[in-house]
Amino acid sequence: MAEAQFSGTTAKQLTTTIGQHLDAVATENPEHTALIVPHQGIRWSYREFAREVDRFAKGMLALGIQPGDRVGIWSPNRYEWVLTQFATAKIGALMVCINPAYRLYELEYALNKVGCKAIVAAESFKTSYYLKMLEELAPELSLCNPGQLKSKKLPHLEIVIRMGQATSAGMFNFGSVCDMGQDNESARLAELAVTLQPGDNINIQFTSGTTGMPKGATLSHTNILNNAYHAGNSMHFTADDILCIPVPMYHCFGMVLGTLLCVAQGATMVLPCEVFDPEPVLRAVQDEKCTALHGVPTMFIAELDLPTFREFDVSSLRTGIIAGSTCPIELMKRLISDMDLTEIVIGYGQTECSPLNSMTAIEDSFERRVTTVGRPHTNWEMKITREDGATAAFGETGEVCSRGYGVMQGYWDDEERTADTIDVQGWLHSGDLGEMDQDGFVKITGRIKDMIIRGGENIYPREIEEFLYTHPEIQEVQVFGVLDDKYGEQVAAWIQLKEGSNLTDDEIREFCSGQITHFKIPRYIKMVHEFPMTVTGKMQKFVMRDAFAEELGLS
């Protein structure tokens, strides 16, 4: 019986660091446009972009940030985010991506889990007051000199670098740090350019799990630079392409398949808005004549359904990546007919794989582009395994596993969960259910884990459950997803209260507000006295999901 295992095409790997690659691109084509940020008035050539990256890199060196130190970045999509991404790579520090929607509970955990020495933060966005949250966690900021923080709750954090022109006690300004580098830092940066290695860890991305708190997937230069490079090649990207990036930078989608993909190919990056908004996205596509546009299905739907959509000229578009969930057939038809995205492709993967495992090809048939997630990516292997670990047959459902250059180095400071995810043969186990045909095309058919996908955001129930357990009146809680027409899924929770409690739905949501990300707060809550369980005492979430969906009229 044929086994469901397939290898992608082989191609040359990049063997440089991210900093070395950026320098080579800037030297080869210095006047080519590198970065456009309309909402901040930024339009830099590669010469100017590389110069600004170096200025911030030297400033961090002047502050005492060294190779191996962890530097958090907490901000919506801004030019400072992109400078931080490449400047940390140049000095060998690990950039720690912090979800801009995080609240106090999540922020404290993330900073302490990986021991962030420094954090670069925006002042605020909408209802997220980043600096105020930092000051609440570290009130010592009001009394310390910048760079000398000693915080009880954040014991590793020493340096806070704030964006914007205003000043804050205990914090450096981003622009001021860019001016700090002198001759010594220039010499040190030149030394690091030749001593840092492609295999060095360079990025930590938090990814949740079905048990416990988020894990820090640790990625190297080789991991993410090559994933970006090969993705660009699959899309037939060249330096002449202009990519509109409305997806969040803190995801691999934004920072690897967005900005890094452009730098890998010497192309132009466009950040149309701080967070996704369909109108500025379409305006950026029109004004900058973008040839490519990324997004999750809900983003593309919002763009197409904008009442003024027809007023924008998007005829320059050619390609892009859809990720986050499978692309519905009708949406793909509209992308091709209404947005001229004739060469758009589907990407599938995990943060732990830097992130792409598989990708449809521009040359694939329409049917393959809407019913599969493509074939294994360049220099990559995939297989489907049965519960007993044996490789499944073609067409048989099992767990999707991947192996190749992009598999993470491991979860930061978590050998046990790393070993649970990457087996001794180097295969990363995704927790996703899928099947593979004889040509190597993979279909994702479900999830072993109870992950909820809400509007392209991966939400892991156990993380929400762990937080809700901290409420003194909650005895037991089970979180799961229910269907939603707009977002795909919504978060639902069944909660058993402690005896004598009269806690209400609204009080629970208020307890969550400001502590966990807004899209993790349960949309639907049901108070129960018991839960459906197996005879061995295992919770049956699928029974809860089906019963609640019927009760809510969502089935």
Helices 183-195 & 46-62, crossing angle to 10 degrees? 110
pLDDT confidence tier of residue 329, bands split at 50, 70 and 90: confident
Residue 105's Cα: distance from chain center in Å?
A: 19
- Residue 516 predicted with pLDDT over 80: yes
Among 283-287, 324-328, 396-400, the minimum mean pLDDT is found in: 324-328
Using the Cα atoms of residue 52, residue 58, residue 61 and residue 67 in order, give the sign of their dihedral: positive
Percentage of the chain beyond pLDDT 90 is 83
Q: What mean pLDDT comes out for the span 282-301?
A: 95
468 neighbors 498 (Cβ within 8 angstroms): no
CATH of domain 18-32+42-197: 3.40.50.980
Task: Write out pLDDT tens, residues 106-121.
Answer: 999 999 999 999 999 9
Average pLDDT score over residue span 323-344: 88
Mean of the per-residue pLDDT values of the chain: 94
Tokens 């966005």, residue located? 125
- Count of beta carbons in the 10 Å neighbourhood of residue 418: 18
Contact 83, 52 (CB under 8 A): yes
| Bridge partners, residue 247, by sequence | none
Residue 240: closest CA among 280, 288, 283, 284: 288
Nearest to 20 by CA among 188, 227, 221: 221
What's the rounded Cα separation, in Å, for the pair 252 and 260?
10
Q: Measured between alpha carbons, how far is 4 from 226 in angstroms, rounded to an integer? A: 25
User: Which pLDDT value is given to residue 453?
Assistant: 84
Say yes or no to pLDDT of 208 above 70: no
Quickly state the pLDDT bin for 210 (edges 50, 70, 90): very low
Q: Is the pLDDT of residue 536 over 50?
A: no
Q: Is 171 left (phi over 0), alpha (psi -120 to 50) or beta?
A: beta
Count of other CB atoms within 10 angstroms of residue 190: 11
> Using an 8 Å Cβ cutoff, are 160 and 60 in contact?
no
Q: What is the pLDDT of residue 542?
A: 81
Residue 94: pLDDT over 70: yes
CA distances from 108 to 98, 132, 151 (A): 11, 13, 11
What token pair was written down for 372? Answer: 């599969």
| pTM of the model as a whole | 0.86
Looking at residue 105, its amino acid is Y
Whether pLDDT at 324 is above 80 = no
pLDDT tens-digit series, residues 26-38: 999 999 999 999 9
- In DSSP terms, 536 is beta-bridged to none
pLDDT in tens, 222-247: 999 999 999 999 999 999 999 999 99
Residue holding tokens 């973008």?
290
Residue 209 has pLDDT above 60, yes or no: no
pLDDT in tens, 249-269: 999 999 999 999 999 999 999
Question: According to the model, what pLDDT value does residue 534 have?
Answer: 56
pLDDT at 180: 98
- Using alpha carbons, select from 380, 72, 33 the residue that is nearest to residue 231: 380
The domain segmentation of the chain, as residue ranges, is 18-32+42-197, 452-552
Of 65-69, 415-419, 529-533, 545-549, the range with the lowest mean pLDDT is 529-533
Report the CATH fold assignment for 452-552. Answer: GMP Synthetase; Chain A, domain 3 (3.30.300)
